[in-house]
Amino acid sequence: MKTEIIPTREIMNELNLSQWTAQLMMKATGLSVFNDIYTVLSDYEGIELIEETLKLLNIEVDINENELKNIPKNGPFITVSNHPYGLLDGIILIKVLQKIRPDFQVTANVLLEKMEPFRKLFISVDPFKKKSLNGFQKVLSRLEEGHCIGLFPAAEVSTYHNTHKTITDKPWSKSSIKLIQSANVPVIPIYFHGANSWSFHLLGKIHPLLRTFQLPNEFLKKRNQTIKVRIGQEIPVSKLQQFDQINDLRQYLRNKTYLLGEGMKQQRFLKPNKSIKDNVEPIIPQIPNSIIQDEIDQLPSSSVLCEHGHYEVRIAPADKIPYTLLEIGRLREITYRDVGEGTNREIDLDKFDEYYHHLFIWEKYTQKIIGAYRIGMGDEIIKHLGKKGFYTHTLFKFKDEFTHVLANGIELGRSFIIKEKQKDAFPLFILWKGINLLLKRNQQYKYMFGPVSISNDYSDAAKDAIIYYSYKYLFDEEVAQFVKARKRYKIKDHMKKYIDNLISGEKITIDELDKLIMDIEPKKYRVPVLIRQYIKLNGRLIGFNIDPKFNHCIDGLILVNVDNIPKKITNQLT
């Protein structure tokens, strides 16, 4: 016997239509096919029903398995999600969550009451009607029992909004947020990538009812598609309790959800030039270790800044280490390419390397270079070449007022630790120990400055978040007025609103920014290590520039006043 969700007779009665018109409407909206599918599925229930529904329509779900670890294996929690598709969102949410939590249920509208097999998976709630109080009470009871619930706080399918010029959820309902406040349990944001067809949104502009009737068709249009889903990190109760105003919490949760989607967008800006990518040069062969060892043996003992075990840190001018410098340039290019940076030339060396000094870690027992920094002695460069002699001058214009910093500082740049040593914190530590001892030897230098890179492998959203945070908490406005980026990076307007809400209030720590970046980034990138390192030294940022010659990475210009470095750190590095 055929089981129908919405029989033709019901359409005739509800809309006062003839049988012929109602049947035509059933076909036009996809309801007749929807009913046929429902008949096939009516013998299944529970998670088997979900699996068979997706199998029948050949719908795949694309999710990073690591993000499933964000789902607690026990205890109550609520998920909040955007609502781009309709019924499909709930079906996918159950498929994903019940892998970890078989007790997971999703709130849904009254249409699902007509779908008997789905009832055990959903809790019927209509946030806009008083009778939903009963539904909300069911939700709270489930949570009190230690179960978990999925909410779609918009309570309606996403649609095109003229104000935002995009397809998005309507403002999330206050009643859903009040429920979250009452529940006092952690919240996990989950984002669905994509949207219904343009015909769905155009019909909605004519009349919202037409959009509603189009939902079955939209469900069927997702056949043979892959739906991408992202799961954010748990928002603890302590964080939720920081919001006194319901509107602030509503905006915060919505932004946390939509920010997950920003990392999924293709980069629209700063794409590496195709002609450059197509002409990546093969990297030069390794310089024989014995040749480098011979050069190092010829250096004076004063070139040794520090030693520890099988590591030694040395500094030398380019003319004393021609082959060592070739190997440094080779290793730079390998390391930078691996993180989406680099010059794409056979070796990363330029004219500045010829008169800069090179500080490097030599691993004695393997006879290998494992890390390096390029260092420009400011007083020497100003004396012989002026402002144009600094590498950073290719990225930023300097007013005369900045000359004092240039002449009394050292420029740091082109730093790297080879890939196989990056998980070990010690090489970076000993590299910085070498820099600290260099400053102690040369106490005329009062500043350290130079570019810190944000790779173009980061999504635009992650770049925006790091830079917005830097402007808000790490920026030196006074010094920045003397510096101008040659190709300034601009934060997207909509991202300013997202991030401002997420990092508003008291200053958030760099660790909290880390979590935000990991939420944005599907690849789980974090705040670049060197930015974290300079922050520990009380460094300040004074500008951001796009570097087209370095795979369009973003360079933040950092400035460290040597006298402001915490004593605890200088003592550790001595």
CATH number (domain holding residue 66) = 3.40.1130.10
pLDDT at 249 over 50: yes
- Across 106-120, 472-486, 513-527, least confident range: 106-120
pLDDT tens for 325-373 read: 999 999 999 999 998 888 999 999 999 999 999 999 999 999 999 999 9
Is 3 part of any domain?
A: no
Is 2 part of any domain?
A: no
Q: Are residues 100 and 182 in the same domain?
A: yes
Q: Are residues 220 and 362 in the same domain?
A: no
Q: How many domains in the chain?
A: 2
Is 36 part of any domain?
A: no
Q: Are residues 425 and 336 in the same domain?
A: yes
pLDDT score at 273: 42
CA neighbor of 495 nearest in space, from 466, 523, 475, 524: 466
Note if the pTM is more than 0.75.
yes
3-state secondary structure 477-491: HHHHCCEEECCECCC
- The mean pLDDT of 112-119, rounded to a whole number, is 66
Is 11 part of any domain?
A: no
Q: Are residues 237 and 317 in the same domain?
A: no
Residues 67, 286: Cα–Cα separation, whole Å: 39
Q: Are residues 338 and 203 in the same domain?
A: no
Q: Are residues 289 and 197 in the same domain?
A: no
Band of the pLDDT at 377, cuts 50, 70, 90? very high
> Pick from 239, 262, 285: which residue ends a domain?
262
pLDDT at 478 over 70: yes
Burial letters 385-410, b for 16+ CB under 10 A, else e: eebebbbbbebbebeeebeebbbebb
Q: Are residues 226 and 317 in the same domain?
A: no
CA neighbor of 75 nearest in space, from 170, 193, 183: 183
- Across 183-192, 201-210, 358-367, 448-457, least confident range: 201-210
pLDDT score at 275: 40
Band of the pLDDT at 147, cuts 50, 70, 90? very high
Is 428 part of any domain?
A: yes
The position carrying tokens 């060892």 is 293
Q: Are residues 212 and 300 in the same domain?
A: no
User: Among residues of the chain, what percentage have pLDDT more than 70?
Assistant: 87
pLDDT score at 30: 62
Q: Are residues 212 and 357 in the same domain?
A: no
Supply the mean pLDDT for the chain.
88
Q: 507 exposed, middle or buried (CB, 10 Å; 0-12, 13-18, 19+)?
A: exposed
Residues 455, 260: Cα–Cα separation, whole Å: 19
pLDDT tens for 531-562 read: 999 999 999 999 999 998 888 899 999 999 99
Q: Are residues 361 and 299 in the same domain?
A: yes
pLDDT score at 267: 47
Band of the pLDDT at 501, cuts 50, 70, 90? confident
Question: Domain residues for 75?
Answer: 44-262
Whether 93 contacts 81, CB under 8 Å: yes
Is 37 part of any domain?
A: no
Q: Are residues 360 and 434 in the same domain?
A: yes
CA neighbor of 404 nearest in space, from 483, 317, 474, 476: 483
pLDDT score at 4: 60
Q: Are residues 136 and 232 in the same domain?
A: yes
The position carrying tokens 């070449």 is 385
Q: 267 exposed, middle or buried (CB, 10 Å; 0-12, 13-18, 19+)?
A: middle
- The mean pLDDT of 155-176, rounded to a whole number, is 86
> Pick from 262, 287, 310: which residue ends a domain?
262
Band of the pLDDT at 229, cuts 50, 70, 90? very high
Residues 368, 421: Cα–Cα separation, whole Å: 12
